[in-house]
Structure 1
């Protein structure tokens, strides 16, 4: 009896819809329709934060351009790109995160961790789809230990790492469709 039940299942299973199933694997790096969107423009970002290295806005602008050139087929143009980016670095703050006690009662407590936070406000315009347009702040931070590193020694590395994270978030919010 079991043998005949198996035979019945072998005939029925394909009829239950397996013939219509489609399994697809792949990675879609974005939702860019390259037939419609061919270029992008990045205006110079401004530093409205009142802090940071002197070349910070230039570093951010160039890093954003390079990221989109590396990760899309879009052509960078000086003006009127199909996708347009502009904005400003609106916050650059260094704040203590954890106090460390000296333990001797004579020496004041000090910060055990410091946090650098950067906020970049981005205006994004998609000329082919106005519904995608947005003005959005992107924030990221990095902590460091002031007991082992001075801020001046590590500032450029922290800024670069924060910009990498912010640019990835911008990419995800604008064209990656995650």
Structure 2
């Protein structure tokens, strides 16, 4: 193959790659798919409406959600009326046996499961077709000797479950997964 044919082949390959990257909308290497006209985000306080959730859950979940978007996007956070808007509430915070085992003929919990549900209303002011309202749920299992008080007092335990929910919210809203 001559040098001029190689240059033409390379040019076509580069052109094809650029079409692939631009053909799917706005792509970034952090996995987001955010239109360049979207510049701001507002995240209202996610209230804890579950009767059994710990008092710190409202503030921690809201701040962790804001931090996640700040770390993973270039969007400017504004108090209200952002191009992307999040509001919602924690609707369930349940701690119940996940497995049952027999100990000396008595049934008792083998593991306990913490399940958290968060209802989120997401509004994309630039493209209403992207807006949604959905309940996100996740859980973690704990040994039977850990009760809800020890889980609530462990800073990493509850955060493990809420982090998974926050990732799901992020993926649904700006990663389009």
8 Å Cα contact 2:93-2:116 kept in structure 1 = yes
In structure 2, stretches of 5+ residues that fail to align are 22-27
User: Quick one: distance in 1 between partners of 2:17 and 2:39?
Assistant: 31
- Superposed CA RMSD in Å reads 2.3
2:151 alignment counterpart = 154
User: Quick one: distance in 2 between partners of 1:44 and 1:27?
Assistant: 29
Q: CA deviation at 1:23?
A: 5.1
Is the counterpart of residue 29 in structure 1 residue 26 in structure 2? Answer: no
User: Quick one: distance in 2 between partners of 1:110 and 1:145?
Assistant: 12
8 Å Cα contact 1:82-1:127 kept in structure 2 = yes
User: Quick one: distance in 2 between partners of 1:68 and 1:141?
Assistant: 22
1:46 alignment counterpart = 47
Deviation track 1:100-148 (CA, whole Å, cap 9, x = no partner) reads 111x33xx2210011010000000001100111100110000000123x
User: Quick one: distance in 2 between partners of 1:33 and 1:66?
Assistant: 20
TM-score (structure 1 length as normaliser): 0.81
Q: CA deviation at 1:165?
A: 0.4
Deviation track 1:4-50 (CA, whole Å, cap 9, x = no partner) reads xxxxxx89xx9xxx76444579835211123x111100111111111
TM-score (structure 2 length as normaliser): 0.81
In structure 1, stretches of 5+ residues that fail to align are 1-9
User: Quick one: distance in 1 between partners of 2:29 and 2:174?
Assistant: 14
After TM superposition, list the pairs within 5 Å mapping 1:95-106 onto structure 2. 95-102=96-103, 104-105=104-105
Is the counterpart of residue 142 in structure 1 residue 140 in structure 2? Answer: yes
After TM superposition, list the pairs within 5 Å mapping 1:51-90 onto structure 2. 51-90=52-91
8 Å Cα contact 2:95-2:148 kept in structure 1 = no
